[in-house]
Structure formats: C-alpha cells, structure tokens
Structure 1
C-alpha cells in the first residue's frame, strides 16, 4: 500500500495509556489479490529455478517467506494459504489440478519442477480445518502452518513439513501438535528439511542429523543477522561442521532488515555463499557436493570435547573479569592485555581456555575472552540453554561496549579456522569474533503452547 506523506495525527496523551480502548481496522486482501502478489514473487523464483536447472542442479532451495512475504496477522495471511495434502496421496498438481481444492501455488511449483526436471523446495502457508471440540483448535476453526513443500523432478509432491519452532513474531501461524521429522530419498542422496529457528533446537534438527543420518539438510530461512555470534553464514556453516552434514541454506535477501547470507556448506567448510549487505538483489548459488559426507574419509572426525578438555593445562580462572551483554545474555569477560599468552575464564560450570598470539595489534584494538553458561531468554517467551566461549573484538576502547554489535569493513570467514578450532592457526584478516557455540538441550525449559518450544 502507498503511504501518505501528510503528517500522522494521534490523540494527545499525557500518561502512558491515556485511552482505555481504541478502534482497529484490518483490510484483508482477496484470494485473487493475494495470488497476484504471489505470482510476482513466483516469477522471480521461476527465473532462478530455470537457471539452476540450466547449470545442472538436481535440487533448488528457495527462501522462507519467499512467496508471500511477511508482516501478517492471522487474518491477513489467510488468503495466501492453501490446503496442502499429505504427500502420501501421490499427487502431481500440475497434471491433476482438480483432484483437490484449488491450489494455484502448488500447481505452479509442480509445473516448475516438472518443466525443468529438478527438485524444487519452497516455503508457503498451509491451512487445515479442525474440530471445535479439540482444545487446540483456534476459534476460527482452522490451523495455519508455516510449511515447506518439496516436489520431485516429475512435479510430484514428495514431502511436506510444518515448522515446529516458530519465531516470536509469527503470530499468524500455529504450532503443530508434534515435531515432524521429514526426510526423503532421491537418486542423489537422502535429505532432511527444517526451517529457520528450528536450527536452534533439538527437535527436529538434531534428530534429523543424528538418528536419520541424512546426507544433506535443506533450510529455507528468513534469518536476520545478529552480530557478533549469530550471523547467517557464520552460524549455518558452523552447524554443518558440527553435524558433518551438507547444509543448503536459502535466506531472504533484504539488507534493510539485516537478512543477508545464503550458502551451501559442507562439513569441511563452506562452499559458495553470498553475504552482500549493500546490494538489493540476491544471488543464485550452485555447487557440487559429496554424498554421505559423514562416511567420507576425507572429512575430519568430530572432536571428542571431553577428551580434549581433559588434556588442557588447568590454569586458574582470571579474577579480574567484568560483565557484558551479547544478545540479551550476560557474559563474563576478561581483557587480553598481553600480545600473547594462555588464559581462562569461567562462568557457572563452563571454563573457556585460550592460547593466543596477536600480530600487528592496533593501539585502539581491544580483545576479550568471554564465557556464558545459562539460559538465553528472548522476549520472555523464548529460552534455551547455551554454553559459549568467544574471542571478541570490542566496539571501542570502552570495555562497556564489549559484546555490542558493530559494523565496519568486515568479512564473514567461516573457512579461516581448522575444523572445530582446536589447533593453532593464523588468520588472513583481523579477527572480529571466533566462537564455540554450544547448546545444552537437556536443560531447555519444557515446551508449552504459550511459549516457543
């Protein structure tokens, strides 16, 4: 919608809430108008899918929210939803469009997969009627799900996944009753799939990686970079290394919302990735990956952290530490005042050890070693257990800025360090952060429907 340039007018208020009620209005679009908007986005996806197929890709992954966008209420997103059947029905929408309720988006995706002889992974909205006698059934009589769909090269719907770990802003969607572990087999590998915030939780991400032994994970996402620990390329490449699985991450590209960073990551380091914070357009990434990477002798074995920790010389914890906040979490920090050394800092049950040597340190550069052991709490409704060791450059010489995000001329460099960062190495550029990011799933609060899992 166009925004008027005339000044907005609000009732004058002298207190925090001068009025005890207000009048709201919602103007939902019609299904026809919703389809017109989605068709514009589908045209962009169509061009990318055709180019991926031309370059010989077997499968293409598109971003979360890539078809309908974002900033919806439960009511305004409804015209964008389709009733997506269970893939067991063995359905090719473009060949049999009248078998189920009208589904123009499913039909178009099916056509793109079949016409280009390529597997297509897309994110869209699913709607499912529910019984009012079910206490989980919303008052409007249906559930709405953030959903990934996968079509094979013949255009058949082969998989459907309802996002389990919704972000706090996704009020337009419902949580599925149970976590779904969706995986499917192809002639070129065994694939699992989940969406965005799912990567931070045990279910379904770790289950797919460990129990299902997938070759690759497909990851539609709308990921906002959160420096210094949770930028997209940084975190997603680390997840691939930690699980020894190929990871295909398709992120929305909207640099005004800090949504940048798509990539294809292998266990031994990143393949192509795109992290442009200045260009408005995205970029198609295509590369060749190995099947069964966790079985390949070319990939380094996972580190036995317990054994590794037991071999470290036990140094006394630094008593001259101070506190700082990184993304709502209160870290313990110590400044690295010497050009080289061995140091340790502890918080709760976690101790972080560092051996370092600084070359060409600038006068105003301040580096700290940080530790965090506890619950990460975000917006009171999201919490999960973390253990983090991090080496950070501070924003300024003021120690109160340590942990604050800042942007300068920096590069994402996920391939700079050896596997799991357990040996010494040199970096080609000055370091902004090097982090070991640990999740302690058993300490997570129990899931309730009122909070994010």
Structure 2
C-alpha cells in the first residue's frame, strides 16, 4: 500500500467507527427483551391472588435472567386477574405497599428492567397502573391507563402523564395500555420528539382474533420496535403476545397457547429510516370506478388475473389493485373489497373511522367477510391506497390477517400527505388486507346506531369486544 492509500483506509475506518457511535447513541444498542404471555393464578382472597402471581413473576424473571434478558414485560391484569374488575377496591394497592416493594426486589435480584400492571389506590380512587422498575429495583415510572374499556370502578389517567423512560442500554421506551392503542394520545404522543424508538404495550386484549394484527399495524405505521404482553385467558379469547421489529418483521409471537409462555428475543436498534416514496396506482384499461355509500362491498372476480377498482364515497376514495396467481387460485374462494366511512360506537363513545380493505368471505353474505375462511388462493400482488384525512387528530394504520391469525408479512407501507399506501406480494391465505383511519375525537354514544355501525365486519376490523360471544366463538371456530 502506498502512504496515500494507508491514510485513506485509516480515514475510512475512523469515519465508519464514528458513524457506528452516532447510530448507537441515537438509536440505542441491541438488547434482549422478554414478554410474558401469562395465564394468572387465582387465590381465595385478593391478597392471595396478588401474592401467588407475584411469585410466578419471580420465577419468570429468574428464567429471563438466565437468558441474559435486559427488560421483561408482564400483561395487563396479570397480578390481579380480570376478576378484580368487579371490585377494584379490594385488589388495589397503595404505592407504598410492601407488595410493590417486593416487586422491586424481583427487578433488583435479577438485574432487569421490570414492567408490571396492577390496580393502584390513591385516596378514594382506583387506577389501572403500569409500574416500571430499573435494574436496581427503583420505581422509575408510573402510568395510569388513559382510556378505560368496561372498567367502571376505575379512574382514567390524566392526558399529560409522563409516558417514556430511558434505560442504561441506550433505548428510550414509551408505554401505554390496551385500549389506549386506539387513541392518538397516548399512542402517538409517546413518539413526539423522536426520542422514543421502542414501545411497551401492556394489554388484556379481547378477542385474540385480531390482536396480533393490531400490534403489528402500530409497529409498521410508526417504524418502532414493539414489546406486547397480553393476558392469557383462552376461554374468553384473550390472547396474542409478541415482539415486533421496526422494519415490520414479526420477531416472535404467541397466539394459540393455552398456558403461560416466556417470549425472548434480541431486539436490534431501530432501523435507519430511508425516505419512502408511495407508488402511484396505475389505472389499467380494466379500471373500474364505483360511487358508493358510506358502507359498501364490491366483489373480486377470481376468474380474472388482474382487478383494478376504485371505490369512492364523496371525496374519500379507496383504490385497489389485485393480481391473482392463476395457477394457484381456488375458484370456491370468495373475496370482496370494502370501503367504510362513518362513525362507530363502542362502549359509551362514538368515533369516526375510515377503512379500505380486501376481505375473504365465508359465503356471499357480507357479514361473513373478515371471519375465518378456508381460503387458499395465492395473490401475486395486492395494493390498497386511500386518500385519508390529513390533520393532527387523525392517524392511520395497516390491518392484515392471515388464516394462521398472524399478520401478513412482508408489507410495504407509506404515507405521503393524505395518501396512504399498503402493498404486499406473493401471499396465500389472506383474510384481511387493508388500512384504517381513526379520527381522535370522540363524543357520547348516540342511540340512533344503524346496521352498518354494528356490523360484525366493522367490529372485527377495529375492536371486536361488543360482538365477541356472538361472533368469535360461533364463526371463527365452528
């Protein structure tokens, strides 16, 4: 080597080292995470139930320590069980409780960051509370669930809570609980400022049918690593725990386990972001434009290789392009395109949603669309694009589902102004593939709810609880 070549090599090595340092400082280091898919123990009293589950937590923390885990996350209701919802006062603890001190010792003894959920008593009020302990067992964050669902004895948290914490491995986490996922505050507020690269999602989500898809959609839309720990109760459909990476990959998930399970995965730093260019939909000669109502289905002709259709309700349009693999199609499969643009009610609230999606159907009746169907056709390409609302109170997320009840991967997702695009290639067993918009304004539920708002397909795409026993048990598993 000439002296000039040696100098050039040294400079390049210095630059590369500096780049690695900057990336590590900004995006954090790789770390090992554990989430617990947990079926709780039940005692004869509230205190016995909490202590039994705390002892189980200790066992999982010990196991996590043996695997070199840095942070372990337990689910919503894991210490108190869902039975506590009937009498939260009996199960609530004050923050100075010796039991909470013992939980801190679990973190300290195992040298891990520890996230637990419990019911907290403050004066005469009770809160659904997440606690975060550092490796020394010190309580470093307390978060009260902001948006309660059928938790009538609890008080919601304030909208301006601290919802982030930093770690000694260079990663800043955000945190929220279950139903909070469907609200911009905290699910998007937690990302403001750009410091949060990883999010902890503590949940008792029901039903499991769409649980993994909701988790994956948040990860894809926001480009973050997501640690999701769900409460296990197979009898009423609570399931769906996973670790998701910022590039949209599903690192590891549990959705059908009938017993508790520790999920461990090394999580790399958030992927370096590259500018995404949303592709334009190509309007072929066969392109069809349909002016629709607020709630409309359009049949997909599986005798044709290519379908290009635009469904519009006023200024809101969904553009679909579907390419079928003609050698691997099932002529008995039924697929429909759907556009939804209306308000929907759940619990005591009413909110605005827009949806563009491809759906598998069990039969020609639209209420069967989105339910589990034995579809086997292969799509070479699926593209869904919508011109959604662009303002600070609105957010969008992909929602996808495979016959395995897992989200579809890989997908390409991007937002450009008001245009949102979702695409994928070479997929078989597609149940749901689409985008939903949620406007983060709510009002009191009205009594004049029409059939569309209570339809099974809308609920399966967004939340699912109100119709679970009528639909999930009879339609998914019969």
- With the shorter chain as reference, the TM-score category is 0.7 to 0.9
- 1:195-344 matches, within 5 Å, as 195-211=177-193, 213-225=195-207, 227=209, 231-277=210-256, 279-291=257-269, 293=270, 296-297=271-272, 299-301=273-275, 313=283, 317-318=289-290, 331-337=295-301, 338-344=304-310
- 1:45-444 matches, within 5 Å, as 45-72=57-84, 76-84=87-95, 100=96, 103-129=97-123, 142-167=124-149, 169-188=150-169, 189-211=171-193, 213-225=195-207, 227=209, 231-277=210-256, 279-291=257-269, 293=270, 296-297=271-272, 299-301=273-275, 313=283, 317-318=289-290, 331-337=295-301, 338-359=304-325, 360-379=328-347, 381-396=348-363, 398-403=364-369, 405-406=371-372, 410-420=403-413, 422=421, 425-441=424-440, 444=441
Cα distance in structure 1, aligned partners of 2:119 and 2:70? 25
Measured against aligned partners, the alpha-carbon deviations of 1:182-212 in whole angstroms (never above 9, x if no partner) come to: 1111122111111001010011110112335
List, as ranges, runs of 4+ consecutive aligned residues in structure 1 with deviation greater than 6 Å.
none
- Residue 383 of structure 1 deviates from its aligned partner by 2.4
Cα distance in structure 1, aligned partners of 2:163 and 2:251? 26
> After the TM superposition, which of the residue ranges 231-240 and 426-435 deviates more from structure 2?
426-435
Three-state SS of the structure 1 residue aligned to 2:260 is coil
Report the TM-score when normalising by structure 1: 0.73
Cα distance in structure 1, aligned partners of 2:428 and 2:102? 46
Cα distance in structure 2, aligned partners of 1:176 and 1:407? 40
On the 8 A contact 1:59/1:118 being kept in 2, the answer is yes
On the 8 A contact 1:233/1:273 being kept in 2, the answer is no
- Residue 385 of structure 1 deviates from its aligned partner by 2.2
Aligned length: 363
User: Hey, which of these two has a bigger chunk of strand by percent?
Assistant: 2
On the 8 A contact 1:261/1:273 being kept in 2, the answer is no
- Residue 388 of structure 1 deviates from its aligned partner by 1.3
Report the TM-score when normalising by structure 2: 0.70
Cα distance in structure 1, aligned partners of 2:408 and 2:366? 30
The answer for the alignment partner of 1:42 in structure 2 is: 54
1:445 aligns with one of 420, 442, 445? 442
On the 8 A contact 1:63/1:123 being kept in 2, the answer is yes
Superposition CA RMSD, Å? 2.7
Three-state SS of the structure 2 residue aligned to 1:107 is helix
On the 8 A contact 2:132/2:139 being kept in 1, the answer is yes
- Residue 122 of structure 1 deviates from its aligned partner by 0.2
Measured against aligned partners, the alpha-carbon deviations of 1:19-43 in whole angstroms (never above 9, x if no partner) come to: xxxxxxxxxxxx9931111122222
The answer for the alignment partner of 1:94 in structure 2 is: none
Measured against aligned partners, the alpha-carbon deviations of 1:72-128 in whole angstroms (never above 9, x if no partner) come to: 456x221211122xxxxxxxxxxxxxxx4xx13312210110000000000001111
Structure 1, unpaired ranges of 5+: 1-30, 85-99, 130-141, 324-329, 449-453
Structure 2, unpaired ranges of 5+: 1-42, 376-402, 415-420, 446-478
Three-state SS of the structure 1 residue aligned to 2:429 is coil
Measured against aligned partners, the alpha-carbon deviations of 1:268-299 in whole angstroms (never above 9, x if no partner) come to: 1234333333x3113211112233x2xx43x5
User: Hey, which of these two has a bigger chunk of helix by percent?
Assistant: 2
Higher relative contact order (CA 8 A, sep 6+): 2
The answer for the alignment partner of 2:462 in structure 1 is: none
- Residue 179 of structure 1 deviates from its aligned partner by 4.1
Three-state SS of the structure 2 residue aligned to 1:420 is strand
On the 8 A contact 2:371/2:431 being kept in 1, the answer is no
Cα distance in structure 2, aligned partners of 1:156 and 1:254? 31
Cα distance in structure 2, aligned partners of 1:112 and 1:286? 18
